[in-house]
Structure 1
Amino acid sequence: MGDIIFNFVQSTGIYNIIVNWGDYWQQVVMILIACILLYLAISKGFEPLLLVPIAFGMILTNLPLAGLMAEPETLIKFHAIENQEMAIKAQQGIFNVDFITKFPGGLLNYLFKGDELGIFPPLIFMGVGAMTDFGPLIANPKSLLLGAAAQFGIFFTFIGAIILGFDAQAASSIGIIGGADGPTAIFLATKLKPELLGPIAVAAYSYMALVPIIQPPIMKVLTTKEEREIQMEQLRPVSKKEKIIFPILVTILVSLILPPAATLIGMLMLGNLFRECGVTDRLSKTATNELINIVTIFLGLSVGATAKGENFLVWETIKIFALGVIAFGIGTASGVLLAKLLNKFLKKPINPLIGAAGVSAVPMAARVANKVGQEENPSNFLLMHAMGPNVSGVIGSAVAAGVLLSLFG
């Protein structure tokens, strides 16, 4: 009886942490970090739909002996050599074998295949397209310039990563964090640098969740009180025909110019076409509710599960997070500065705050721009104006990913 109890104690995670602290301290640190993220998500409301599954995935993957991200273990059974032909094949290195699965692998390892194979990110894009009104972008084409300017952070950080010693594939994957677009970051990393997928994905989604903290100080430093108070005229109405033609036209043009971007752009525009065409209500509702919610759960859990202590708490990860926040900050600043520049030539000035929404965190960045504007002028409603650059940023980050895939894929 004593042996049974002792064997049970030895099989617990608590025993292994105490006895083998040197092997498990990193997992303990990651669990504490995950608890902090859960606190921010639940108590402070920092994008709980993203942070809760990501943080919980971090906890699950770092539990000692749980094996939720373990790879399947396979045994190889060699057949006996029964004849001359099999003997010859054996000499040539060709064996008659059976593959027997000893351990099927952890649950999160299988969910992670959706990230690894590039399945989840395009499905998220479909849901985003179905939830998003492209009308503000169509009504104000200047928004495209602001969304494009915000992508400058991607290419600036690409250069910075090269200087720090990363190769072109890794630098591309790190730079895309500046677009504040988690699905695009995952999609590009799986294509160019799969071994960095964990820190890149967690960094991208963490910065998306922290948009309300990171962006306002940058916006306020780069603008005056008078600029933040600028009120913009109501956007023109956009016809149904325009809204139907737009996703079809964008898909064709972007895909012909940048074929690697076709997957993300195509799914984004397909979702939007479901929304606008008026004959696919059931598909639109599925894409905006059941589908995107299910994929968000799986994506968040599997992204968090890549943050294993022994792989995550390394100097390379720290550099990725530092470069990521620089990329995000530069993207925010670029959109604001371009808006200020445009105001020197426009008869009707635009509020520079909407330039910060050029990063593709939809609709978080647009809401932040609206909130900062209302702090200066409570009657100033910038949300719909900010949605133009915000939607443009989603398209821009997908295009930037296509460019990087074309150059370094």
Structure 2
Amino acid sequence: MRKFVTVYAVLGILFMASFLFGNDATAQTILTGDVEGGSALLRGLKSFWRFTGFANIAIGNIIMIFAGLFFIFLGIKYNYEPLLLVPIGTGIIIGNIPFIDQAMGVQLGMWGENNTGFQIGIYEKGSVLNYLYFGVVKGIYPPLIFLGIGAMTDFSSLISNPKLMLLGAAAQLGIFATFIGAMALGFEIHEAGAISIIGGADGPTAIFASSKLAPHLIGSIAIAAYSYMALVPVIQPPVIRLLISKKERLIRMKPPRAVSKTEKILFPIIGLILTLFISPTAIPLLGMLFFGNLLKESGVTERLADTARTKLIDIVTIVLGLTVGASTQASVFLTFESINIFVLGAASFVVATAGGLIFAKVMNLFLSPENKINPMIGAAGVSAVPDSARVVQHEGLKSDPSNHLLMHAMAPNVSGVIGSAVAAGIMISFLM
């Protein structure tokens, strides 16, 4: 613990020194290069200092660096989506280390306009980070993640009880509520469409829609979507307890029926054709999702399915998380737009959760006593797989330690993935 305190103390001293140094007349002379007859050593030190992050630090960079550290803390300490928050948090730190870019170098007279600079920033053409970020801007990574999700998802619970798909559809209320809210806050209609997908609780889908509708908001939208996905265990339980009575939480559901291999093979094929005829603009996402699931269920492409659900999705997740985090440079990210997007994101998750819960209660009005569903599984309609299903399981066990709802909750959970992709496709087709 003392080591961590020492490290943070040193960082704090260096940050403060950078500001104090900038206020000292002599130091400022060295920074601006107004040194006549200085020794070679002094000129070398001056040049070295000008290129350090401490000489170029701004308060916004410090705020974002601490935000990145907070993401890493949440991922490691509380296990909140560590596979997402640790890469994103690290990316935020990387993206907010200040350096002299090409434009600043020209402005300071350090090099000519034809000098490309160091090419290290994510927004500098030719840099490694910029090339990696290309996959985010052009929507390349989300379909690859959907391929992996399809290869690791078991749709048996949905196939055995298809009516639970309605809960996944009901939870998409968050998308349309967020769209209305974004318009009310003054966002342009294409921006509102991109922001609205946060309500689907699906990070890859939000990034894909943003790449088509509002590329300049990808960073803010992605960070908001993934942040609230990680906070599902914090956001959803209070909403569940508020809307679902103690008696309703004790409802026991019949065990799901056994699903045949033939049904499992036919589901991705039928789902592929049906959903893509409804929303062809969702082909990159749903096409990959159902293709990945077919690889898993066919029984003859296990090697491909294993690659998709392990190595491929891991590599894409690393690159996606790191570059999305790095895109949050303070000068780009710390705006009123980003604040509004975060507020809308929090509201959209609450509305989406409430939509699934309320619709489950409405469904029970038309079901016989032996077929009633536990309304808590409606919260799993948001497509944060499998976290929202785990939340339902946890809340169910708190009410009745012998009532296991995980398998039932997975049905609306996976249907929420499909529903959010369809909703995004429809939104894109309306606004493009």
Q: Compute the TM-score of the two structures, normalised by the length of structure 1.
A: 0.89
1:194 is matched with which residue?
Answer: 215
Q: Take 1:293 and 1:11, find their aligned partners in 2: how far apart are those partners?
A: 35
Deviation of 1:15 (Å): 2.8
Determine which of 399, 420, 425 is the counterpart of 1:376: 399
Q: Take 1:400 and 1:161, find their aligned partners in 2: how far apart are those partners?
A: 16
Deviation of 1:107 (Å): 2.4
1:211 is matched with which residue?
Answer: 232
Pairs within 5 Å for 1:27-176: 27-65=61-99, 104=119, 105-176=126-197
- Match of 2:95, as an amino acid? T
Q: Take 1:10 and 1:127, find their aligned partners in 2: how far apart are those partners?
A: 45
Asked whether the equivalents of residues 139 and 235 of structure 1 are also in contact (C-alpha less than 8 Å), the reply is yes
Q: Take 2:100 and 2:343, find their aligned partners in 1: how far apart are those partners?
A: 31
Q: Take 1:108 and 1:206, find their aligned partners in 2: how far apart are those partners?
A: 22
- Match of 2:72, as an amino acid? L
SS at match of 2:162: coil
Q: Take 1:135 and 1:29, find their aligned partners in 2: how far apart are those partners?
A: 45
2:20 is matched with which residue?
Answer: none
How high is the sequence identity, in percent, across the aligned residues? 55
Does 2:424 correspond to 1:390? Answer: no
- Match of 2:372, as an amino acid? P
Flag the 1:207–1:143 CA change in 2: closer, same or farther, 3 A.
same
Does 2:391 correspond to 1:357? Answer: no
2:109 is matched with which residue?
Answer: none
How big is each residue's C-alpha offset from its partner over 1:15-44, in whole Å with a ceiling of 9 and x where there is no partner? 333xxxxxx111111001111111111111
Flag the 1:164–1:135 CA change in 2: closer, same or farther, 3 A.
same
Asked whether the equivalents of residues 108 and 301 of structure 1 are also in contact (C-alpha less than 8 Å), the reply is no
How big is each residue's C-alpha offset from its partner over 1:261-282, in whole Å with a ceiling of 9 and x where there is no partner? 1111100001111110000000
Pairs within 5 Å for 1:171-320: 171-320=192-341
Q: Take 2:366 and 2:274, find their aligned partners in 1: how far apart are those partners?
A: 29
Q: Take 2:269 and 2:415, find their aligned partners in 1: how far apart are those partners?
A: 16
Q: Take 1:103 and 1:179, find their aligned partners in 2: how far apart are those partners?
A: 39
How big is each residue's C-alpha offset from its partner over 1:55-110, in whole Å with a ceiling of 9 and x where there is no partner? 1000000001176xx89x9xxxxxxxxxxxxxxxxxxxxxxxxx997755332211
Deviation of 1:14 (Å): 1.5
Q: Take 1:158 and 1:379, find their aligned partners in 2: how far apart are those partners?
A: 40
Determine which of 45, 51, 55 is the counterpart of 1:5: 45
Pairs within 5 Å for 1:324-339: 324-339=345-360
2:390 is matched with which residue?
Answer: 367
Q: Compute the TM-score of the two structures, normalised by the length of structure 2.
A: 0.84
Flag the 1:224–1:213 CA change in 2: closer, same or farther, 3 A.
same
Q: Take 1:16 and 1:301, find their aligned partners in 2: how far apart are those partners?
A: 23
Q: Take 2:177 and 2:44, find their aligned partners in 1: how far apart are those partners?
A: 60
Where does structure 2 lack aligned partners over 5 or more consecutive residues? 1-40, 106-113, 120-125
- Match of 2:68, as an amino acid? A
- Match of 1:253, as an amino acid? L
Of 245-254 and 185-194, more deviation after overlay is shown by 245-254
Question: How many residue pairs align between the two structures?
Answer: 375
Q: Take 1:111 and 1:350, find their aligned partners in 2: how far apart are those partners?
A: 45
Q: Take 2:241 and 2:385, find their aligned partners in 1: how far apart are those partners?
A: 21
Q: Take 2:381 and 2:317, find their aligned partners in 1: how far apart are those partners?
A: 23
Flag the 1:295–1:269 CA change in 2: closer, same or farther, 3 A.
same
Of 324-333 and 160-169, more deviation after overlay is shown by 160-169
- Match of 2:142, as an amino acid? P
Where does structure 1 lack aligned partners over 5 or more consecutive residues? 18-23, 74-98
How big is each residue's C-alpha offset from its partner over 1:240-273, in whole Å with a ceiling of 9 and x where there is no partner? 1111111111111121221101111100001111
SS at match of 1:165: coil
**Deviant stretches of 4+, over 2 Å:** 99-107
Asked whether the equivalents of residues 296 and 305 of structure 2 are also in contact (C-alpha less than 8 Å), the reply is yes
